[in-house]
Amino acid sequence: MKQQLFLVLVAALCHGAVNAAPVAYESACKYCHESGVGHSPKLHNPDDWAPRLVKGMDQLLQSVKQGRNAMPPGGLCPQCSDEELLEAIRFMAGHGPLYR
């Protein structure tokens, strides 16, 4: 597991901010979004993400930054920039970096 995380981190550093989403997911998001704890939308599950995506990325970003339901403010990633949070949302929702 440590070797896999190391490889993800190295890949992210080599490929820039677009690939930062898997790193943010591994370090902060997966603890809830992998299992759906607290009714969080599960990774790459369209049924979970569809009603949230309808609200738009700006609203989703605000939900992460302010916290919502069981998710704490910043979504366990207080060091993440807005763009990193947006990329993590896109990654978890199953969309690439061009999804807006």
**3-27 pLDDT, tens per residue?**
544 434 434 444 444 566 788 888 8
Under-50 pLDDT residues of the chain? 2, 4-17, 98-100
Q: Which of 36, 24, 31 is nearest to 78 (CA)?
A: 24
Q: State the Cα angle at 74 between 68 and 79, rounded to 5°.
A: 175
In this predicted structure, what is the pLDDT of residue 22? 80
Structure pTM? Answer: 0.74
Q: Which own/partner pairs from 49-52 qualify as long-range (CB within 8 Å, at least 24 positions apart)?
A: 49/92, 49/93, 49/94, 52/93
Tokens of residue 57, six digits: 């990325």
How many Cα atoms sit within 13 Å of 7 on the Cβ side? 4
The CA distance from 10 to 60, in Å, is 28
